[in-house]
Amino acid sequence: MATAAATIRSQDAGPQRSSPGKTLDALNFFLADVRDGLGPYLAIYLIAVRGPAHGWNEATVGMVLTIAGIVGLLTQTPAGSLIDKSRNKPQIVMIAALLVTLTSVSLPFVRGFAMMTVTQSIAAVAGAIFAPAISGITLGLVGPKMFARRVGRNEAFNHAGNAVSAALAGALAWRFGPVVVFWLMGALTVASIMSASRICNDDIDNAVARGLDCEPEEGCEEPSGWKTLVENKPLLIFAVIAFLFHLSNAAMLTSVSQLLAKTVGKDQATSLTAACIVAAQLVMVPVAIIVGRHTESWGTKPIFLVAFAVLAMRGALYTVSDDPYWLVGVQALDGVGAGIFGALFPVIIADLTDGTGRFNVSQGAVATTQSLGAALSASLAGSVIIWAGYSVSFLTLAAIAVAGLLLYLLAMPETKMQRRSPQPAT
């Protein structure tokens, strides 16, 4: 394969290959908070700052997040298709980061349910770009052999970036209030755009980035049709599993942040929520590195089962006490479950779609079901909280995690046995 990317298949094989790896490190670090949007900080802002006087409670906040999530999930598959076809992936990342941040910094000036929903929907559409774009850039730079290890490194820097930004948000919010989070995101976007601009687009093998050996015009096979994805039973099962994981996981931190806002006040709740995020992210860093290094030898299935088991345990432990320090400690377990999911999600899809040329669009399709689970999670948890309280809501989310664990155990194959045998170099 006579492409520039073929010279950097391993980031450890020489000085000329260190630059793309370091640039990916920086991009994942600074993009960490931008790609996830405002998350629980929005819930704190609307509950504690706007509050019932302006028509905001747990149910209305959950509805905004649900609508934005549904809008975002409808764009996941087109976003993946766009990345598959794109010849300049770093540029797309820069545009998406700018859109997310513009919608965030505008929130202090936005009034009403409708406008809040519009801004978050725009952020969700732009946010759909990041996962397939980063995965496509990574696969196109390092190739399939080094992909699992490099994804683990990506996730480690992503979580480190989240930890640092959350710590900054907590410290600044203590002094200036929750609104400071919006401006912090703007600063991180500038750093993200600068990092993305340093990636040499010519170093990215666009054929490898979509799961092909080379482009069709170079004599290789055409990308598979959409029918091959629908007929890929393990991929469909994994889509359901991703749905259940996020239906259980997405609302946990948001619910904890709302509980803190009611028990300790808005300013302290923002700082404690930041502490929750920092605790989880610090755990995710070593988890992602370990998963990336050992996926090839351990396999994906046993590692993913651990993620579901820890997620279920976390939901149950939240009900033991509403002491702020207990909640922060339990939230650290998110570093195990979500850390494993983030490190394995693109690896499993790459294994299941190897040779189809549909890697990124498959990521988008599975991310659609994942986003549907996350969107419904917010409304489900908010409604159960209003109806029966926080403890019942946490136990409901834990039960969903148990269902996902059983489905993965009984129906999902070991994906490391799905990949094609390596093709001889031509």
Has residue 221 got a pLDDT over 70? no
| Residues 292-319: tens digit of each pLDDT | 888 888 888 999 999 999 999 999 998 8
Contacts 24+ apart (CB under 8 A), 399-403: 399/312, 399/315, 400/244, 400/247, 400/248, 401/244, 401/245, 401/248, 401/249, 401/308, 401/311, 401/312, 401/315, 402/308, 402/312, 403/244
For the chain, give every domain's residue range.
19-206+226-417
Has residue 55 got a pLDDT over 60? no
Q: Quote the CA–CA distance of 386 and 24 in Å, as a whole number.
A: 43
pLDDT band (50, 70, 90) for residue 238:
very high
| Residues 156-208: tens digit of each pLDDT | 888 788 778 777 777 777 777 667 777 777 788 888 888 888 888 888 888 88
Q: Quote the CA–CA distance of 50 and 95 in Å, as a whole number.
A: 30
Has residue 138 got a pLDDT over 70? yes
Has residue 17 got a pLDDT over 50? no
Report domain 19-206+226-417's class.
Answer: mainly alpha
What pTM was estimated for this model as a whole?
0.72
Name the amino acid, one letter, at 57.
N
More confident residue, 10 or 117: 117
CB 249 within 8 Å of CB 39 = no
What integer is the mean pLDDT of 259-267?
68
